[in-house]
Amino acid sequence: MVACENEKKAEEEGVKREKAEEENKLKAKKERDDFHALISAEMNTKMDRMFEVVRGKSAPTQEQEIAKLKKQIEKLQSLQMLKNGSTSQTNWNGTSCSGNQVAQDEVFARLMQSQEELKSKLEKRVESIEGEIRSLKLMKDEATAEAEVWKKEALRTGNKRSRIALSPSAQLRADSRSTPA
């Protein structure tokens, strides 16, 4: 009786232990999968941002900003026209023009300057991203070459993992078994 109860308890404990181990394995796998998904999502967002910059998809935002500035300029010009009336001034080439034209020239000059600044900043960013891409390609090539070296070494005929390695004592035992007594 006592032996049967002990066997039942041992069996139940074994079942509980196996169940707990299985739950731990499933929990660890779920945590790994969640971590992998999180890292993948972060890398995807970073890569998307990088590709947008490389492909020039950030240009529409610049165009939108320019359109916004143009609207603001037009509003300011209309306010200036109402304030000044149509007073005559000289242009950069010496011809006479209205105050509105001078304001437009100044705004145009500012726009051109800001556009050049944005262009230089964008070129710097593209150059840095291209450098990063080059370094990543180098790292990939190095990793591929290292993997190839490892693969060749692993598949080499003298490698003890490429075929069954028999120690001298194992060979002697194998020979003694095949020899009739």
Chain segment 63-73, per-residue pLDDT in tens: 778 888 898 88
Is residue 49 domain-resident? yes
User: What pLDDT is attached to residue 92?
Assistant: 47
Is residue 74 domain-resident? no
pLDDT in tens, 120-134: 999 999 999 999 999
* pTM score of the predicted model: 0.31
Is residue 6 domain-resident? yes
Rounded CA-CA distance 104/106 in Å is 5
Is residue 31 domain-resident? yes
Number of domains observed in the structure of the chain = 1
Q: What is the span of the domain harbouring residue 22?
A: 1-57
Is residue 67 domain-resident? no
Is residue 80 domain-resident? no
pLDDT in tens, 14-38: 999 999 999 999 999 999 999 999 8
